[in-house]
A and B are shown apart, each in its own frame.
Chain A
């Protein structure tokens, strides 16, 4: 019976996966998923996975109950009922929460967005040593004693010595017979990655813009985490000056000053030089802004830093431009003009939440 339920649970998972895949674009533009993020898994609300039937809408039904109260007395909220006005139209609707690991989520993304696997650089040069218990030795702690091997050795010895009696097969191992499990050192290529998020927090970037950045970053995170064994994240915010912050501040800070993008690029470059050797690290600088920069001089400076500093060191440089009411939105055009054929530069405009899906596709579609 356990097999049967396993099988049906697997089928159910498959149905859920199909459902999520089909609606990935929708999920990508919703913040709910991020809100339900755990350490290794997200839980995704999947409405209406139950089989459709002809049934009554709940709104007009009501029913009979028992207890105290006069006409007009409110009853406790019915099971599964949402309190917001919107959901009040369909109270009691059954929404299923499905847990999905990041691994599974990334696989879904790969299938749906047709993302290529990343070919990490430095795979040959960086080697880490790992211990695997695959060997056998003659010395070791008793807790690691290999019973079968020890027994065989003792048997061999006793037979050779002629002390083995088939009618009374008692095998007593002595010290020399004992065999212990032991480790071998394995050399495994390792690939590390660092994502350096940079964001414009000048006055023109509103909450909605930041939210879009956050959503995009979540999906990029999920994907890169799937591709590399370990991943680090660094966050840089900038207006006219740049500074490094933690994740929370990154998404919530709001400054008012002007915008000098070069400040962020300089800081990012410095960070890489000090901490992330391009020989060992796969480096992903991602920059989000509304495309407003202060003057042509600074834009030129940015291009110089990119050309000489960031690009040679990075796997990919991605720039996402979110649309805002205030930004001029010129920077993306400047970048495009400066690096018309450079493969490492990926540009995307994010007009609204629905655009996130295409942005992620553009960012990750190159397999770098």
Chain B
């Protein structure tokens, strides 16, 4: 695709680009595409990648967007794709002031994609990669039949949330044992449980009985470890199935494709608040401080900005929360409102007027955008003062009144709830516990229950899909209504069993 930006907008783009660079933003070059609303809905249905593999769920999403656009329920002003160069889609019918706002916003996103740590592992040529995926899947469809391939994609998409969010940053599997003879010797030199000791003290510090005992324990541990499969519960269920499920080559490839896309999209879920907050912070800064906006545009800008950061009762707007947190951090570091001295000050007056004129704010927000994700952001920078100023509360479902109600305004509870809802992007944590249950080759998953039950009907249907991959009965251990239970699908029937 080549950019189809008209000359007047190209001029605005160049201006905004210069301003953004002047503020120290460091972004992938952005290619803007103008789309009409229908094209925009199409692109949005494909998650921003027009070249994606074919699947009916994109058709469903398109129909939904089309309908809700027709009824005036939503309007997509802009979309940005994490890619180098970064692709951004603009709605052709936007007013010039909207286009300015959107462009400034997009440079914020692009800067975030490029610099945030959690995006570091993503493929920056994903536009091409997605097209390759599409081609491969289309080829499989030609060869093995569209229905079969699409059904298999259904199955894969059903488990696309069962990945390990920390995989890009942590090595879970032990390094392969060193082949080198010298290294091997170094490896075995120290016996298990042995402490370093001078020779004359050795019999006392490392009594041989204890060492024998310890060696035996370690050996047994290793033995039982070998009997377990997987040795440790596996968080990346997709990977486990990819490596061990009885799949055809093309099925492996399809599963691998969907897994790769899931990992690519993961950081966008991990940094929703930060990413949108950062973009909102920059569009508001650029629009209101750089002089790009004409006087006539101020009202429209204010209106649309307010629309973007508006809060609906009962739900949190990531744009708003992110923007306010960035502003709060900037102010605190500008005025030195952090650290022990500030925290321990109990003079409210002094606190309210606290200003050490440090001017570290800008530097700090850049640091925040570099190394944090949403969980870290909330954990580190959500203060009691902030929660009170922004009237945050927790809400829950009241069964007696059959409605959602405000539950509490206590800071600790708010923070806990918020962190909980962000953990694992709000997905249940599920691991492969045992792939050879009762020595019958049955697959056991385990849901780490943290107080919220799974949606049972969905869980059942998902098990059905996992059965299709594993080809043997599939189970999941979870908790339903405070009782540990095991859900099973054995190829014909569903069963629920209480666990003792």
Contact = CB atoms under 8 A, between A and B. Distances in A.
Contacts of A4: 42, 46, 50, 54
B455 to A, nearest CB: 4
Interface stretch (B20-28, B207-215, B313-321, B358-366): B313-321
A77 B398 CA distance: 12
A245 B156 CA distance: 57
Contacts of A5: 42, 45-46, 58-59, 62
A9 interface: yes
Interface stretch (A49-57, A220-228, A300-308): A49-57
Contacts of A80: none
Given A53-B161, A75-B405, A78-B404, A14 B455 contact: no
B394 A62 contact: yes
Contacts of A48: 457, 461
Considering residues B161, B396, B458, which has the most beta carbons from chain A within 10 angstroms of its beta carbon? Answer: B458
Contacts of A60: 396-397, 451-453
Considering residues A2, A65, A67, A90, which has the most beta carbons from chain B within 10 angstroms of its beta carbon? Answer: A65
Interface in A147-180: none
Contacts of B426: 56
Contacts of A13: 59
B55 interface: yes
Interface in B396-435: 396-397, 399, 401-409, 414, 417-418, 421, 426-428, 430
Contact of B391 (A10, A15, A66): A66
Contacts of A14: 56
A9 B417 contact: no
A154 B465 CA distance: 69
A8 B313 contact: no
A54 B452 CA distance: 12
A326 B57 CA distance: 51
B323 interface: no
B294 interface: no
A124 interface: no
A68 to B, nearest CB: 6
A20 to B, nearest CB: 14
B409 A71 contact: yes
A337 interface: no
Contact of B390 (A9, A56, A66, A71): A66
Contacts of A54: 161-162, 427-428, 430, 447, 454, 458-459, 462, 476
Interface in B35-61: 39, 42-43, 45-46, 50, 54-60
A76 B313 contact: yes
B479 to A, nearest CB: 11
Interface string A82-105: 000100101100001000000000
Contacts of A22: none
Chain A residues touching B, range: 35 or more
Nearest to A8: B59
A73 B406 contact: yes
B331 interface: no
Nearest to B311: A66
A207 B426 CA distance: 47
Interface in B161-202: 161-162
A155 B315 CA distance: 73
Considering residues A1, A8, A58, A73, which has the most beta carbons from chain B within 10 angstroms of its beta carbon? Answer: A8
A56 B392 contact: no
A190 B44 CA distance: 47
A65 B316 contact: yes
Contact of B403 (A8, A57, A74): A74
B360 to A, nearest CB: 28
Given A8-B55, A68-B391, A77-B403, A56 B316 contact: no
B462 A1 contact: no
Given A51-B157, A53-B458, A9 B59 contact: yes
A3 to B, nearest CB: 10
B69 interface: no
Contact of A57 (B454, B462, B465): B454
B60 A66 contact: no
A61 interface: yes
Contact of B316 (A12, A63, A72): A63
A48 B158 CA distance: 13
B52 to A, nearest CB: 8
A71 B406 contact: yes
A165 B364 CA distance: 81
Contacts of B240: none
Nearest to B414: A64
Contacts of B391: 66-68
A11 interface: yes
B421 A61 contact: yes
Contacts of B464: 52
B224 interface: no
Contacts of B54: 4, 7-8, 11
Interface of B: 39, 42-43, 45-46, 50, 54-60, 62-64, 146, 150, 154, 157-162, 311-317, 320-321, 390-397, 399, 401-409, 414, 417-418, 421, 426-428, 430, 447, 451-462, 464-465, 476
- 7 A-B pairs closest in CB distance: A8-B59, A52-B461, A62-B396, A12-B59, A11-B56, A75-B314, A9-B59
Interface of A: 1-2, 4-5, 7-15, 48-78, 85, 88, 90-91, 96
10 contacts: A4-B50, A5-B59, A11-B59, A66-B391, A66-B392, A74-B404, A78-B314, A88-B402, A90-B455, A96-B64
